[in-house]
Amino acid sequence: MRKCIYALLALLFPLWVIAQEGSISGTINDEKTGEPLIGASVFIEGAASGSSTDFDGKYQFKLPVGTYTIIVSYTGYSEKQFTEVVIKADETTYLDAALNEEGIQLDAVVVTAKATERSENAILLLQRRSDKIQDGISSQEMSRFAVSDVAAAMKKVTGATVSGDKYIYIRGLGDRYSLSQLNGLIIPSTDPYRNGAQLDLIPTNLLDNIITSKTFTPDLPGTFTGGNVDIRTKSFPEEFSLSFSVSGEYNTQSNLVDNFLTHEGGPGDYWGFVGEDRELPAILADPAIRNQLSGDIPITARLGNASQAAKRKEIAELSDVTSKILNRQFSPTEKSTPLGHSYGVTFGNQFSLFNKPLGVIFSASFKQSYEHLDRFQKANWLLFDVNDNLLLNQGDFEDTRSTENPTLNGLFGLAYKLSPRHTISFNALYNHNTEKQSRYVFGSRPDNIVYPEQLQARGLSFTERELISYQLGGEHAFEKLNDARIEWKVSLTNSSMDDPYTRFFENQWDVVNDVFDIPLSNVQQPFYFFRELTDEQIAGKLDLTLPFSKTKGNKVKFGTMLTQKDREFTEYRFNIATSSVAEAYTVSGNPEIFTRDANMGIIGTDNVNGGRYFIGNYLIDATVPDNNYTGYDDVLAFYGMITLQLNEKLKFVGGARYEKTDLFAESAAASKPDSARIRAD
């Protein structure tokens, strides 16, 4: 038996050694222009093992563990040899190379490469061969800087700043003048009041690089002034990877504290999803009902004519129902917070489909973070007259603000390489980001609220944003046409923003006499606010690049782009008004006492003229119909450009771009059009 075991081990050991494989991967570029070399040969000295580079100048193949000499060659270029390249089991060795034209250097170059590591060279080569002034950040840099989303990564890019941890500013120009793209196609905004996309929606672990263009060229959209940010997702994983991550974060100000502000919600709050508890009640979504809430309800409910008894009853009962149907929590409560935490899974690998490489990537993650700002000082100043060197103080406040920020995201990608010169790819990106915020503000407004009167304000909000993007594209190069290239992409993107049940309550407090009041000359009526935005965008682009020769950076480029975006935006506002007969019952420094059942709707009746109703606090529709709208934004573009590398230090880029934009928006207050889409050329 022992001899049999030894014999079996002797047979299996060589097979085990042979099975130990690693892989080698890299990018081959023209050293002078930085252009990727398509079809360059990468092979092992003295062996048949090897590969050729693809559309992006990339290659990859597997080798048994060991030390090799790698030879890189390309027609018209000098050959390079890399000696002592070590291949380790189940690891990928990265080896990039830049080749010189034979006219510059005829002899082969031998490089000793005991340890080859990938750096930010790819980004530098992109900058070098670009037809525009651009900057960028690679996935390696993003990992090294430990940034979790695109907004944080953009802070590391020269000339870029980020406002509100979401919006990009390029060269001092705000998000209105900047443009964000995902793999070359525009990302719509999820904020109804801003043009730029919120860059905190996209996590960095799904990205290959981010490129920022700061000058115009005809192949870029004409709708930016400051800069164009192109976010590029991963496609072909270079090796099998499967990772799970769990992390925690601790901030002395926000985590493991007992005074974190919050408010009631539903079971979906932890994940950041709006539930039924936050939906606008159907009765308030009815335009006919809202129309009845826009009148003077207390007077209508007390009309003296006996013939109007039915009308009094109808309006009183409607006031009673609508004033009690909404959640009446206006004051935040306190809770203890855990550590910030996140967990995720990432998978990537290459498979063989019909003897062609198929790249598959998948990533999903969830993060829950907390931010607590305790009594930070906030002041508002106004320059009323530019000729008067005087700033008017409009408020000195202590603001306590707590925010819970759950983020869920994922990416699924497929890339199929028909040949080294032809690739088709598909990816789906999902992101869901929510901010649940609770606030308490206390202070003075020197223009109308001064000591001993003080302002008290409370705000509760829940803002949910979602982005879903599907992209299908292809890249093709044709060897007989000097590696002429065709690139095409189509995408469907749905983005939304839902801000339900925002609540705000202001009152004036005499701190000496402990008297509370809601004078409308100084403070707003308590109110509810609902708003929702949905965007659906279809986009497509086609680019054709024709090099003048196979070894130069001279080329002409033509292309077209079409974008169609449809938007619908709705918002509703409901104020809580107080009738004169109810003031003695309702004025209190506690909003929950102010809005308890005994103070809402019908608070008394009498039998005069068939019955009259006394109304306490009641809901009125303060919606501005002009703020609700539907619209579309369609852009059709054509361009042509030429690039001439006149010498090593001088390049000419010229061309023209034609864009036609159809922009239409119609307020809900306007008459409805005969068709869903009206073309306004």
pLDDT in tens, 581-635: 655 445 566 888 888 888 899 988 888 777 888 888 999 999 988 889 999 999 9
Tell whether the model's pLDDT for residue 225 goes beyond 90: no
* Residue labelled with tokens 């709705």: 570
Q: Could you tell me if 482 and 535 are in contact, meaning their C-beta atoms sit under 8 angstroms apart?
A: no
Burial 477-505 (b: 16+ CB within 10 A, else e): beeeebbbbebbbbbebebbbbbbbbbbb
**Residue 551 banded pLDDT, cuts 50, 70, 90:** low
Quick one: tokens of 336?
A: 């203890």
Judged by average pLDDT, the poorest of 44-53, 329-338, 428-437, 640-649 is 44-53
**pLDDT at position 585, please?**
46
Tell whether the model's pLDDT for residue 678 goes beyond 50: no
Residue 643 or residue 301, greater confidence: 643
C-alpha–C-alpha distance, residues 453 and 594, integer Å: 19
Residue 109 or residue 489, greater confidence: 489
**pLDDT at position 676, please?**
39
- Tell me what percent of the residues of the chain surpass a pLDDT of 70: 86
Highest mean pLDDT among 215-219, 376-380, 436-440: 436-440
**Residue 115 banded pLDDT, cuts 50, 70, 90:** very low
**676-680 contacts, C-beta under 8 A, 24 or more apart:** 677/566, 677/632
Domains identified in the chain and CATH numbers: 18-118 (2.60.40.1120), 122-233 (2.170.130.10), 333-578+624-667 (no CATH)
C-alpha–C-alpha distance, residues 401 and 589, integer Å: 20
**pLDDT at position 583, please?**
55
C-alpha–C-alpha distance, residues 211 and 232, integer Å: 8
Tell whether the model's pLDDT for residue 538 goes beyond 60: yes
pTM of the model: 0.78
**Residue 297 banded pLDDT, cuts 50, 70, 90:** confident
Tell whether the model's pLDDT for residue 522 goes beyond 70: yes
**pLDDT at position 344, please?**
86
Tens of pLDDT, residue by residue over 457-497, are 999 999 999 989 899 999 998 888 888 899 999 999 998 99
**pLDDT at position 116, please?**
42
Tell whether the model's pLDDT for residue 111 goes beyond 70: no
* Closest of 445, 371, 439, 457 to residue 400, by C-alpha: 439
C-alpha–C-alpha distance, residues 92 and 63, integer Å: 10
Q: Could you tell me if 344 and 247 are in contact, meaning their C-beta atoms sit under 8 angstroms apart?
A: no
**Residue 681 banded pLDDT, cuts 50, 70, 90:** very low
Tell whether the model's pLDDT for residue 179 goes beyond 60: yes
C-alpha–C-alpha distance, residues 110 and 87, integer Å: 19
C-alpha–C-alpha distance, residues 233 and 221, integer Å: 20
C-alpha–C-alpha distance, residues 102 and 30, integer Å: 12
Sign of the CA dihedral with 286 first, then 288, 293, and 294 last: positive
Tell whether the model's pLDDT for residue 59 goes beyond 50: yes
**pLDDT at position 609, please?**
76
Question: What average pLDDT score do residues 327-344 get?
Answer: 93
**Residue 201 banded pLDDT, cuts 50, 70, 90:** low
**pLDDT at position 271, please?**
93
**pLDDT at position 258, please?**
95
DSSP state at residue 305: -
Tell whether the model's pLDDT for residue 284 goes beyond 50: yes
3-state DSSP call for residue 38? Answer: coil
Tell whether the model's pLDDT for residue 108 goes beyond 60: no
Tens of pLDDT, residue by residue over 83-101, are 888 888 877 888 888 888 7
Cα angle 528-198-279, degrees, rounded to a multiple of 5: 30
Highest mean pLDDT among 36-40, 155-159, 647-651: 36-40
**pLDDT at position 673, please?**
45
Q: Could you tell me if 617 and 600 are in contact, meaning their C-beta atoms sit under 8 angstroms apart?
A: yes
Give the C-alpha distances (Å, rounded to integers) separating 29 from 232, 234, 613: 20, 20, 84
**pLDDT at position 130, please?**
63
Residue 196 or residue 601, greater confidence: 601
Residue 486 or residue 179, greater confidence: 486
Tell whether the model's pLDDT for residue 212 goes beyond 60: yes
C-alpha–C-alpha distance, residues 137 and 155, integer Å: 10
C-alpha–C-alpha distance, residues 677 and 482, integer Å: 44
Q: Quick one: 341 exposed, middle or buried, by C-beta within 10 A (0-12, 13-18, 19+)?
A: middle
Judged by average pLDDT, the poorest of 167-171, 542-546, 650-654 is 167-171
By DSSP bridging, strand 80-87 and strand 109-112 are: parallel
Question: What average pLDDT score do residues 431-455 get?
Answer: 90
Q: Which helix (H) or strand (E) holds 475?
A: strand 453-478
* Closest of 627, 630, 612 to residue 672, by C-alpha: 630
**Residue 125 banded pLDDT, cuts 50, 70, 90:** low
Tell whether the model's pLDDT for residue 498 goes beyond 60: yes
User: Taking the chain, what is the end-to-end CA distance rounded to the nearest angstrom?
Assistant: 89
**pLDDT at position 229, please?**
84
**pLDDT at position 510, please?**
87
* Closest of 241, 543, 236 to residue 416, by C-alpha: 236
Tell whether the model's pLDDT for residue 2 goes beyond 80: no
Quick one: tokens of 257?
A: 């504290």
Residue 439 or residue 21, greater confidence: 439
**pLDDT at position 124, please?**
61
C-alpha–C-alpha distance, residues 68 and 20, integer Å: 15
Mean pLDDT of the chain: 82
Quick one: tokens of 513?
A: 């006499």
Instruction: Please state whether 399 falls in left (phi above 0), alpha (psi between -120 and 50) or beta.
Output: beta
**pLDDT at position 117, please?**
40
**Residue 265 banded pLDDT, cuts 50, 70, 90:** confident
